[in-house]
Amino acid sequence: MKVKVSRKAHFNAAHRLYRPEWSYEKNDSVFGLCNNPNFHGHNYELIVSVTGEIDEETGFVIDMKDLKELIREKIENQLDHKNLNVEVEWFKTVNPTAENIVVYIWNQLRPFIKASNELEVVLYETPRNFVTYSG
């Protein structure tokens, strides 16, 4: 019997969507306002879900306290109040779209989740725009 356990979290971050090898005009036509050279910010919301068997002794799939600390250490401390393009190594060469950010978050967390458990991350870039990745 598998159960999905979820934890919500959030971080604020600035970014710019562009490809450095493209002209400003081409970036503007593809990324529009998101290509602002002075960056812009979002209040990102995420839902991290771990699915697995309930441990007979604890009754937990995963201890929510451990999940909270893991998200704080690996995601919030790395991304909150950061300029993603400038301050996060991976996004110096990878465009920080919602798709690429959700994959980054999943990759940061996956090594710390029990191998037999499934991991899913939902990332809201705006209240109406969100992406989902589960590996």
Ligand X SMILES: Nc1nc2c(c(=O)[nH]1)N=C([C@H](O)[C@H](O)COP(=O)(O)OP(=O)(O)OP(=O)(O)O)CN2
Which residues of this protein are in contact with ligand X, per CB under 6 A? 17, 34, 97-99, 125-126, 128-129
- Give the span between the Cα atoms of 100 and 132, in whole angstroms: 11
Is 10 catalytic? The answer is no
**Complete edge-to-edge strand list for the sheet that includes strand 40-53:** 82-83, 2-15, 40-53, 118-124, 130-133
Considering the candidates 10, 53, 73, 81, report the single residue annotated as catalytic: 81
Q: Does 10 belong to an annotated binding site?
A: no
First to last CA, the chain: 22
What's the CA gap between 115 and 52, in Å, rounded? Answer: 10
Residue 15 among known ligand-binding residues: yes
CB of 126 to ligand X, least distance (A): 3
Indicate if 34 belongs to the active site. yes
Q: How many residues belong to the site for Zn ion (CB under 5 A)?
A: 1
Which residues are marked as active site? 34, 81, 125
Which residues are known binding-site members for Zn(2+)? 15, 40, 42
